[in-house]
Amino acid sequence: MKKKPGTKFLLLSMSLLIAASLSACGNTEPSDSGAGSSTSVEASSAEEYQTNGDMKQSSKESSAGESTAMKTAETAATDSTAAENNASKSAEAADVAATDNTGSETAAADRTETAATPSAISEEPLSAGLISIDGDIICLGTRYSEIHGGNWSLRTEDYEKYQSYSLNPRTTSGSAMGLYSDKYGYEYENFHIMVSVMNASEDPIPYLDGTIDYLSIPSITRLEVLPEITLPGGLTLNSTEDDFRAVYGEPSSEYNDESTEFRSLTFKDGDVDLKISWYKGRINEITLTI
């Protein structure tokens, strides 16, 4: 006849299984559930055996104790396995989320890298809606809030004013905001950029969360210090009318006033329109719209 495991052995095994289950769930103390109550009963029995010095039990008591211990151990093992499975699933879900997030960040980085320098813009078509101003890339379709705080921003008083505005669904602001930089100063007569924003969504949004649908650089000829400007195709302020035609093709429209020596050409590529105005043979204004 095989000797049955002693009560101390069973208690030790059961305690280890319960500890493993609690550890997997992130707990350090047993709950008031059946597992905790059973552990308390077994601990009390062990103490009674130590006090009386009697390590023998009747067959009925031993069987009942062993049965209870085995059930408790099985329950603890099941709970531990379930906890491990849940932990594994959580880890897998975290891995998937991390992968998705990495994919989004990579896509955003790719878009930024595409137009990271004026030389990169030179390789882009007009339909990209990009312009480089002193090395800063601005793209039509970008939210104003994403560029605020960079080298080109609203003046403080204008920013505070527009913060209180909102844009209705499917509308454009219809008015332009002036963006200034530390390099040129914050007075209106200094070199600056004019932009307007639109809301293409079905819900109202904060005004400054609108996307840029219009960008204009006005009155360039009056500037003493000219900015470095690069357009898609590598065109600059030194490019001639023939250069623009060679890169963008024939204009969709043109205007010429010989009396004022004012001339303009508009080129279209996809959703983007580019209007170049000359005054006395020099580029005076550049306007991009979508």
User: What pLDDT, in 10s, does the model give residues 72-106?
Assistant: 444 444 454 444 554 444 444 444 433 433 333 33
The two counts, helices (H) then strands (E), for the chain are: 7, 13
| Non-local CB neighbours of 167 within 8 Å, separated by 6+ positions | 173, 197, 198, 199, 204, 205, 206, 207, 209, 210
pLDDT at 100: 39
What is d(CA 72, CA 35) in angstroms, rounded to the nearest whole number? 7
What is d(CA 162, CA 141) in angstroms, rounded to the nearest whole number? 19
- Cβ atoms of residues 126 and 248 within 8 Å: yes
pLDDT in tens, 214-260: 999 999 999 988 999 999 999 999 999 999 999 999 999 999 999 99
CB atoms inside a 10 Å sphere around CB 12: 13
What is d(CA 267, CA 254) in angstroms, rounded to the nearest whole number? 9
Give the CA-trace dihedral at 165, 167, 172, 176, to 10 degrees. 10
H-assigned helices in 115-186: 118-121, 144-147, 156-162
Both structure tokens of 206? 């904060």
What is d(CA 174, CA 168) in angstroms, rounded to the nearest whole number? 12
Kindly report the average pLDDT of the chain as a whole number: 74
- Cβ atoms of residues 177 and 212 within 8 Å: no
Quickly state the pLDDT bin for 149 (edges 50, 70, 90): confident
